[in-house]
Amino acid sequence: MNETSISGMKRTHMCGELRLSDVGREVTVNGWVDRVRDNGGVLFLLVRDRAGIVQCTFDKSVNAGLFDVAFTCRTEFVVAVRGKLVARDEAAINRKMPTGEVEIVAEELRILSRAETTPFEIDDSKEVGDQVRLKYRYLDLRRPSMQRNMMLRHRVTQVARNYFDEQGFLEIETPMLTKSTPEGARDYLVPSRVHPGKFYALPQSPQQYKQLLMLAGMDRYIQITRCFRDEDLRADRQPEFTQIDLEMSFVEQDDVIAVNEGFLQRVFKEVLDVDIQLPLPRLTWREAMDRFGSDKPDTRFGFEIRDISDIAANCGFGVFKGAVESGGTVRLINLGGYADKFPRKEIDKLADFVKTYRAKGLAWMKVAADGTMTSSFAKFLTEDEIAAIKERADMHENDVLFVVADASEETALVSLGALRCELAKRLGLAKKDDYKLLWVTEFPQFEYSEEEDRLVAKHHPFTAPMDEDIPLLDTDPAKVRAKAYDIILNGCELGGGSIRIHDPALQTRMFEALGFTEERAKEQFGHLITAFSYGAPPHGGLAYGLDRLCMLLAGLDSIRDVIAFPKVQNASDLMMSCPDVVDAKQLDDLSIAVTREEKDAEA
């Protein structure tokens, strides 16, 4: 037998699950040495596996040979320990460890694998730089927090698959080697060896395939699938990410929402043991923008936006009056009860904050706890105007109003929306374990693209318009609202979807409204247009960002922490050292040549 074999020393229990009720048993555990403590003649090996850590004791006076073997163990050695589980003395109980009331009195020890000194300690309490963590990701993943994150993610996908299975959804795999679409984000391309000069693209989403599956009569489809976007990475973006993607036939918006509310309720219950009340609140996009300055409103706190344009329209403060006169607006939020947290100096810094959202400045008015009022603009206003604003803002002692006036309604709303979130964060009002879910509906069908100087689809060209807005397609397309919906959690978009157009005549009108010529529509979506001509069921769906969902459920700030092997900002994998150069023969096989090469310093 190989001396590092597990034969005869297989675990009877996971380390982390041993309890007082197991005392007296002969047990074997397998795992990594988490720590070694030498107590002069008695050695403690703390052995760690996925379930937790248990203490194993080696007493020199009882078995010197065994003690000596244990003495050679260092952290991260892989060991198998057999022994008797005993209750610890009262004084030795460790209340911080779930196994802290017991320990294994070792009778046999096998070292399955030795370990070099690791580049960092496997310890959640130690801060480690991201570069090192990712280079040695297999060590980083040994940390109990990362193991919990992976287990949570597993649980979420398991709940999703079981729930949607119960609801009649079929898991169907769609291709990864597919066709490049010029619209939308940049594609990752894959050169074809068999077809020189031609390329596959990795999917940005299975959107077209899932609609084709509905045309194919599959009725209800789900897939948890990898998607790819070759975009410059932000903190919470990865070149490859995972969607829970689904589509249903013979449904309207309410049906899609209902089935997904059931899913969310199940996930929160099974993963976090949190009860979510249904139905979830819904806000139209218009209401979300007006009240929260965002299409992803965070409703864990108040500070809703109010409109004082009517009061400010004729006031003596040029900034307010001018904004309204140029077709703009004056809006405010009331940070009720927190005026004392914001001295003048802080407020001035907030003006810089809103400027990053294009606001030109931030006016304010404050009533101290003793009733004293200070303001950046009150001196220009009449007493009546001030009173009207106070009433509109429901202003009391220790309140502070922040006002943005702008010729662009969007700028005023978005900058105040960002400000309310920033202030809530600073005040500690955005608690991670306070889960506020809601739907945003009735999104605009189109948005204006400055780059292309035309209306483009806000979602995609197959999104159905609201029935009552169909006539506006020809007369005032910018006003058309879509049967599109997003699910929001604590100010983050968890997912979004829409009811799709299933009527070819309406689809043609939609392409016209988007300025597509018939040829261009055919070129880009020919196979879909043909497909729709053979009998299309009404259908709609939704896709969740799984990485973000897991991140929020785990109470984390980065999706990297819920992805086993993530890429860094420049899309590299530090552990695998990729992307990398390849053999000339590989490129020749693919009929491509490299036209520019990265200098290694940039790597």
**Residue type at 143 in one-letter notation:** R
244 sits in which H/E element: strand 240-249
Q: Point out which span in 259-267, 297-305, 325-333, 592-600 binds its own copies (CB under 8 A).
A: 592-600
Work out whether strand 539-545 and strand 240-249 pair parallel, antiparallel, or are unpaired: antiparallel
- Structure tokens that stand for 102 in this block: 């017991």
The Cα 582–Cα 593 span in angstroms is 11
In the complex, what is the shortest distance from the CB of residue 37 to its own copies, in angstroms, rounded to a whole number? 18
User: Is 545 assigned a ligand-binding role in the annotation?
Assistant: yes
Annotate each residue in 483-522 with x if it binds its own copies (CB under 8 A) or - if it does not, as one string.
-------------------xx--x----------------
40, 197, 327, 428: which one binds its own copies (CB under 8 A) = 197
User: Is 252 assigned a ligand-binding role in the annotation?
Assistant: no
- Structure tokens that stand for 177 in this block: 């080697």
Total interface residues for its own copies by CB under 8 A: 136
The Cα 314–Cα 322 span in angstroms is 9
Query: Does a cis peptide bond (omega within 30 degrees of 0) precede residue 196?
Result: no
User: Is 211 assigned a ligand-binding role in the annotation?
Assistant: no
32 sits in which H/E element: strand 26-38
Distance in Å from the first CA to the final CA of the chain: 46
Angle between helices 207-215 and 518-532 (to 10 degrees): 40
Query: Does a cis peptide bond (omega within 30 degrees of 0) precede residue 538?
Result: no
The Cα 51–Cα 14 span in angstroms is 6
Q: Following CA atoms 214, 217, 219, 222 in sequence, which dihedral angle do they give, to the nearest 10 degrees? A: -60
By CB under 8 A, residue 142 contacts its own copies: yes
By CB under 8 A, residue 451 contacts its own copies: no
Within residues 365-404, the interface with its own copies by CB under 8 A covers none
Q: Which residue, 453 or 597, is less far from its own copies as judged by CB?
A: 597
User: Is 548 assigned a ligand-binding role in the annotation?
Assistant: yes
**Residue type at 148 in one-letter notation:** R
139, 256, 333, 521: which one binds its own copies (CB under 8 A) = 139
User: Is 236 assigned a ligand-binding role in the annotation?
Assistant: no
Angle formed at CA 367 by CA 366 and CA 370, multiple of 5 degrees: 145
In the complex, what is the shortest distance from the CB of residue 53 to its own copies, in angstroms, rounded to a whole number? 12
131, 479, 565, 584: which one binds its own copies (CB under 8 A) = 565
By CB under 8 A, residue 471 contacts its own copies: no
Annotate each residue in 232-271 with x if it binds its own copies (CB under 8 A) or - if it does not, as one string.
x------xx-x------xxxx--x----------------
Q: Which residue, 55 or 334, is less far from its own copies as judged by CB?
A: 55
Q: Point out which span in 143-151, 357-365, 374-382, 397-405 binds its own copies (CB under 8 A).
A: 143-151
In the complex, what is the shortest distance from the CB of residue 214 to its own copies, in angstroms, rounded to a whole number? 9
User: Is 229 assigned a ligand-binding role in the annotation?
Assistant: yes
- Note whether 482 and 442 are within 8 A (CB): yes
Three-state secondary-structure class, residue 65 = helix
Q: Which residue, 407 or 568, is less far from its own copies as judged by CB?
A: 568
In the complex, what is the shortest distance from the CB of residue 593 to its own copies, in angstroms, rounded to a whole number? 5
* Nearest Cα residue to 213 out of 201, 224, 222: 222
Within residues 37-96, the interface with its own copies by CB under 8 A covers 48-50, 76-78, 80
Q: Which residue, 391 or 598, is less far from its own copies as judged by CB?
A: 598
What 8-state DSSP symbol labels residue 92? G
By CB under 8 A, residue 573 contacts its own copies: yes
Q: Point out which span in 149-157, 263-271, 391-399, 419-427 binds its own copies (CB under 8 A).
A: 149-157
By CB under 8 A, residue 567 contacts its own copies: yes
- Note whether 423 and 415 are within 8 A (CB): no
Return the bridge partners of 226, or none.
242
Q: Which residue, 191 or 262, is less far from its own copies as judged by CB?
A: 191
In the complex, what is the shortest distance from the CB of residue 257 to its own copies, in angstroms, rounded to a whole number? 14
Return the bridge partners of 58, or none.
43
By CB under 8 A, residue 185 contacts its own copies: no
What 8-state DSSP symbol labels residue 235? T
12, 93, 128, 188: which one binds its own copies (CB under 8 A) = 188
In the complex, what is the shortest distance from the CB of residue 213 to its own copies, in angstroms, rounded to a whole number? 7
69, 105, 189, 368: which one binds its own copies (CB under 8 A) = 189
By CB under 8 A, residue 15 contacts its own copies: no
Q: Following CA atoms 267, 272, 278, 283 in sequence, which dihedral angle do they give, to the nearest 10 degrees? A: -90
Three-state secondary-structure class, residue 104 = strand
Q: Point out which span in 99-107, 111-119, 281-289, 394-402 binds its own copies (CB under 8 A).
A: 111-119
User: Is 154 assigned a ligand-binding role in the annotation?
Assistant: no
By CB under 8 A, residue 597 contacts its own copies: yes
36, 69, 112, 274: which one binds its own copies (CB under 8 A) = 112
What 8-state DSSP symbol labels residue 378? G
Annotate each residue in 200-239 with x if it binds its own copies (CB under 8 A) or - if it does not, as one string.
xxx------x--xx-xxxxx------x-x-x-x------x
Q: Following CA atoms 198, 204, 210, 212 in sequence, which dihedral angle do they give, to the nearest 10 degrees? A: -30
**Is 597 exposed, middle or buried, given 0-12, 13-18 or 19+ CB atoms closer than 10 A?**
exposed
Three-state secondary-structure class, residue 367 = strand
Annotate each residue in 411-450 with x if it binds its own copies (CB under 8 A) or - if it does not, as one string.
----------------------------------------
User: Is 108 assigned a ligand-binding role in the annotation?
Assistant: no
- Structure tokens that stand for 387 in this block: 């009173």
The Cα 459–Cα 484 span in angstroms is 8
| Binding region | 183, 229-231, 238, 459, 493, 500, 545-548
Please give the annotated binding residues for ATP, written as ranges: 229-231, 238, 493, 545-548
Binding-site residues for L-aspartate = 183, 229, 459, 500
